[in-house]
Amino acid sequence: MVKAVFPGSFDPPTFGHLNIVERVRSIFEELFVVVAVNKQKSGFFSPEERRDLLAELLEPFPNVKVMLCDTLIVEFAKLHGCRVLVRGVRSVPDFSYEFELSIMNKGLDPSIETIFMPTDPRYFVLRSSAIKELASFHGDLSAMVPPNVVRALKAKVGP
Ligand code: ADP
């Protein structure tokens, strides 16, 4: 059985991310959902806040672990015995970005494979960046993110 990593910013987690996790988790022995810490970009939520939101959402799934990573993802994968990186793809521009990233990761560690999971059509327009913008205008986010994320966004943007 193979272990996999699903890395991302998850700033914040959306129904699109959760859908990928739900579909992928039964394919693998263990799935690490990893909040990749980007030292160049300060997020809307801190990496720890994102990890805690994901941990709350994924708690029902015994073979899913939520972790932070401040190294290269391929290094994280190697360290945890994972042979596969999972990435979600919403659109053709997503695919060209993800394709380049996968080639770069393959160059860093040829033993680790990337697989792409196409989005569920219900979620193909969901983007963390658009959600943060909508939250700043107090828009209704209930169809895009789960209730704990709605609450966290409301608390962050204030009245
Ligand atoms: P990034 O790592 O580019 O910051 P995110 O953290 O937003 O991306 O997302 C992590 C992974 O989840 C990426 O592979 C991204 O393509 C995928 N993803 C994000 N939103 C969706 C969605 N609505 N449907 C499917 N996949 C998605």
Task: Answer yes or no: is 101 within a domain.
Answer: yes
Q: In terms of Cα–Cα distance, which of 129, 151, 130 is closest to 57?
A: 151
Answer yes or no: is 14 within a domain.
yes
Q: How far is the CA of 70 from the centre of ligand 1 (A)?
A: 18
Residues 80-139 pLDDT 10s: 999 999 999 998 998 999 999 999 999 999 999 999 999 999 998 888 889 999 999 999
Q: Which domain holds residue 72?
A: 3-124
Structure tokens at 132: 């943060």
Sorting pLDDT into bands at 50, 70 and 90, what band is 40?
A: confident
Q: Is 90 a catalytic residue?
A: yes
Nearest to 3 by CA among 61, 81, 64: 81
Cα–ligand 1 centroid distance for 17 (angstroms): 6
* Residue 136 included in any domain: no
| Structural domain includes residue 145 | no
Give domain status of residue 144, yes or no: no
- Range 8-13 average pLDDT: 96
How deeply is 76 buried, as exposed, middle or buried, from its count of CB atoms within 10 A (0-12, 13-18, 19+)? buried
For residue 122, what is the DSSP state?
A: G
CA pseudo-torsion sign 143, 145, 148, 152: negative
Q: Count up the domains in the chain and report the number.
A: 1
CATH number at residue 46: 3.40.50.620
Work out the mean pLDDT of the chain and round it to a whole number: 95
Q: How many angstroms separate the CA atoms of 26 and 94, rounded?
A: 24
* 78 flagged as catalytic: no
- This prediction has a pTM of 0.94
- What is the number of the ligand 1 atom nearest to the C-alpha of 120? 24
Within-domain flag for 64: yes
Q: How far apart are the first and last CA of the chain?
A: 48
Indicate the length of the chain as a whole number: 159
Q: Is 31 a domain residue? A: yes
Token readout for 119 is 């989005």
Alpha-helical segments (H) within 61-118: 73-79, 92-108
In the predicted model, is pLDDT for residue 158 greater than 90?
no
**pLDDT tens sequence across 51-65:** 999 999 999 999 999
Tell me: pLDDT of 30 over 90.
yes
Answer whether residue 157 is part of any domain: no
| Residue 151 pLDDT > 90 | yes
